Amino acid sequence: MTASATLAISTTDLKKSYGRQVALAGLNLQVPSGVVYGFLGPNGAGKTTTMRLLTGLMRPDSGSITLLGQPFDRSRHALLQEVGALVEAPSIYPHLSARDNLIVMGATGRHVPRARVEELLDLVGLRDRAGDRVSHYSFGMRQRLGIAIALLNDPKLLLLDEPANGLDPGGIVGLRDTLRGLATAGKTVFISSHILPEVQQLADIVGIIAAGRLVTQGPLEELLASQALVRVRVRPEEAAAAFALLSKLAGEGRVEIPYPDMAWLTARIAADRAAEVNRALADAGIYASGLEAGSDLESLFLQLTAPPVPPPGQTRTGALTGWTGGGAA
Amino acid sequence: MSLAIVGLRKFWTRTATVVSLLVAATVEVLYFVLVGVSYRSASSGSSGIDKPTVTWLLTFPGAFEAVISIVFAFFGLIALIYVATASGSEWSWGTLKVAVTRGQSRWQYTVATFASLAIVLLVGVLITFAAGIVAVVIGASIAGLAVGNPVDPSALAGVFFKLVRCWIALVGLTSVGYAVAMVAKSQMAGIGTVIGYFVASIFAPALLPDIVKEIFKYLPFSTAVDSIGIAGPPTTGAAASATALDPNVALLITIGWLIGCLAVASISVERADISG
């Protein structure tokens, strides 16, 4: 068995541009089989483009894709029949009922038995409204139907773009249970999402993309541990002394001053050492006006996808709020 | 083939399908009723009506041809718009995207979707033809004409083949709108193009120089009209046939247009980047 045979998805130097706009600048994804993989990135980072390439909706400019151990280019149709996908908004016939949508969609690709349609209506909680026109459905109900369509062929690999969009809390819990159940059964679930707490609860492995490149990828627990941060705010005139002190505690090269004007220091140090940091600063006569510790996915995401710090004297607009503009789809 | 049959489900339940058929049938009935009323008025003193033509329209077996040509004209325009709308919505609703992500061959889906539409058109032709026959009886009754025998076996065989030709002509013609909508990924592009082309095909021959008319003769609208092989009423039939293509040649060219348009649509969908 080759290494790629144990990977559900593998991409090598995947590139895609829309005119002059580079969407993917050499993406190297490695998604093991039988896991829930959270694919994260800011708007315009290239997540949707990646989903479109993985589902054959678009062709890459260069690079290669391997799905379920097979080269995607050579056996595209056969491979996609083992894949379920919800890319962007659910695509459905609004004048048909949920049941008819599933029957009509089930006629494409691999044949879907009628019993599977009824099973999925139960699974996504649409049984009571299965005969109603979808145009009368709420956004969340359409989303449920989109997920049911993705599950039609009992896929080995499930690709979901923002699957929790519009779902009520009960729907989110149901979705989480379903996806975890699929992973437990040996199937692979690849989720692109902005809802970071949801991904943190669900994903085994996380990949973060920014500006068309993968900036990190690995088991969620390891990433969170390796990226643990303690952030300290001091008076600007004390920043240099605090920097030296934190460097002793955290190690050389593990302390940054991302926002010099505000004298926030960031030390890569385990969150449970926050009290130790505070005590050391106080012992040195530096009293922190702010101290944050954590290793949540949101902090990791923001840290890895933040734009570079501008040279001294220039202002970074929007950096603190995350509204830093988009790129590709 | 099963994809085309299941695909019927998505077209039959569209409001647009029912409305299109109702509009075509209603306009057709109104047309024959108005002809009957005009004839009756003319008989009671007014003049200016072409009695041989009206007789051809309202009495069998001539009325069969009249109904088929009216089906082609009225239902044809509506069918052009309907097919362009239905095919464009595969893009706007993103349902083509689902088929592709489920591993369906793009060109097969493109052809199967058009096959579903062709079946809808066949049913539409039969319904509007039946409505036309009823309308002829009503129109003849208003006009005070003896309608003749609508179930004459010798006439019905010819009628069957002309109906089939009418259907093929409509399928060939609507494939133009289908191809435009699929290439442009847009309902509006398909609808705009087919309406423009339909109108141009009616008026252009009267306005254009002979050399251009010769070219128009081989374009989809003209070949579709000629392929049905309607002789027309006795007074105009000879004049019309002088500029028309032989029906069999026209039918072959229409089928050629159909295959060409489907090929263009399929190749375009095969190569397209699908988003949205």
Cβ distance B101 to A79 less than 8 Å, yes or no, reads no
Mutate to test the interface with B, among A48, A49, A52, A57 (most CBs of B within 10 A): A57
Contact status of A58 with chain B (Cβ, < 8 Å): yes
Cβ distance B102 to A103 less than 8 Å, yes or no, reads no
Q: Which residues of A129-143 are buried (b: 16+ CB within 10 A; e: fewer)?
A: bbeebbeebeebbbb
Contact B171, B118 (CB under 8 A): yes
Cβ distance A152 to B3 less than 8 Å, yes or no, reads no
Q: Which residue bears the tokens 């040649």?
A: B249
Contact status of A114 with chain B (Cβ, < 8 Å): no
Contact B247, B226 (CB under 8 A): yes
Residue A94 in 3-state DSSP?
coil
pTM of the model: 0.83
Provide the CA B71 distance to its chain's centre, in angstroms: 7
Contact B180, B193 (CB under 8 A): yes
Could you read off the pLDDT of B146-203 as tens digits, one per residue?
A: 888 888 888 888 899 999 999 999 999 999 999 999 999 988 888 888 888 888 877 7
Q: What is the pLDDT of residue A266?
A: 81
Residue from the list A56, A92, A100 with its beta carbon closest to the beta carbon of B100: A56
d(CA A111, CA A106): 6
Residue from the list A56, A78, A88 with its beta carbon closest to the beta carbon of B276: A88
Q: List for chain A the helix, strand, coil content (%; round to 5).
A: 40, 25, 35
At A11, which helix (H) or strand (E)?
strand A7-18
Q: Is the peptide bond before B247 cis (omega within 30 degrees of 0)?
A: no
Q: What is the pLDDT of residue B141?
A: 93
Mean pLDDT, residues B28-33 taken together: 94
Residue B247 confidence class, pLDDT cut points 50, 70, 90: very high
Mean predicted lDDT score pLDDT of chain A: 85
Low-confidence ranges of chain A (pLDDT < 70): 1-5, 227, 259, 262, 294-296, 307-329
d(CA A151, CA A192): 16
Mean pLDDT, residues B85-107 taken together: 93
Contact A281, A242 (CB under 8 A): yes
d(CA B228, CA B249): 11
* Least Cα separation, residue A291 to chain B (angstroms): 44
Q: What is the pLDDT of residue A312?
A: 42
Mean pLDDT, residues B217-231 taken together: 88
Mean pLDDT, residues B2-15 taken together: 88
Residue from the list A59, A81, A95 with its beta carbon closest to the beta carbon of B102: A81
* Least Cα separation, residue B94 to chain A (angstroms): 5
* Least Cα separation, residue B110 to chain A (angstroms): 12
Cβ distance A108 to B104 less than 8 Å, yes or no, reads yes
* Least Cα separation, residue A150 to chain B (angstroms): 8
Task: Count Cβ atoms within 10 A of the Cβ of residue A170 and give its class: 0-12 exposed, 13-18 middle, 19 or more buried.
Answer: exposed
pLDDT above 90 coverage of chain B, percent: 56
Cβ distance A85 to B109 less than 8 Å, yes or no, reads no
Would the ipTM clear 0.90, i.e. be above it? no
Q: What is the pLDDT of residue B46?
A: 57
Which residues in chain B touch residue A94, judged by CB atoms under 8 angstroms apart?
93
Contact status of B111 with chain A (Cβ, < 8 Å): no
Q: Kindly tell me if the per-residue pLDDT of B218 is higher than 60.
A: yes
Cβ distance A100 to B13 less than 8 Å, yes or no, reads yes
- State which amino acid sits at residue A61: D
Cβ distance B102 to A76 less than 8 Å, yes or no, reads no
How many H helices and E strands in chain A?
A: 11, 15
B71 DSSP 8-state letter: I
Which domains are present in chain A?
A: 3-219 (3.40.50.300), 228-294 (3.30.70)
Q: What is the pLDDT of residue A318?
A: 36
Q: Which residue bears the tokens 């080995």?
A: A156
Cβ distance A104 to B9 less than 8 Å, yes or no, reads yes
Contact status of B17 with chain A (Cβ, < 8 Å): no
Contact status of A329 with chain B (Cβ, < 8 Å): yes
Can you give the residue ranges of every domain in chain B? 2-271
Chain B from 64 to 103: CB within 8 A of any A CB: 93-95, 97-103
- Name A139's Cβ contacts closer than 8 Å, sequence gap at least 6: A165, A166
* Least Cα separation, residue A316 to chain B (angstroms): 33
d(CA B221, CA B162): 17
Specify the higher pLDDT residue, A317 or B250.
B250
Size of interface A-B (CB pairs under 8 A): 92
Q: Kindly tell me if the per-residue pLDDT of B240 is higher than 50.
A: no
d(CA B237, CA B232): 5
Residue B276 confidence class, pLDDT cut points 50, 70, 90: low
- Give the CA radius of gyration of chain A: 23
Q: Which of A294, A158, A149 is nearest to A228 (CA)?
A: A294
Contact status of B276 with chain A (Cβ, < 8 Å): yes
Q: Which residue bears the tokens 């009423």?
A: B233
Cβ distance B273 to A52 less than 8 Å, yes or no, reads yes
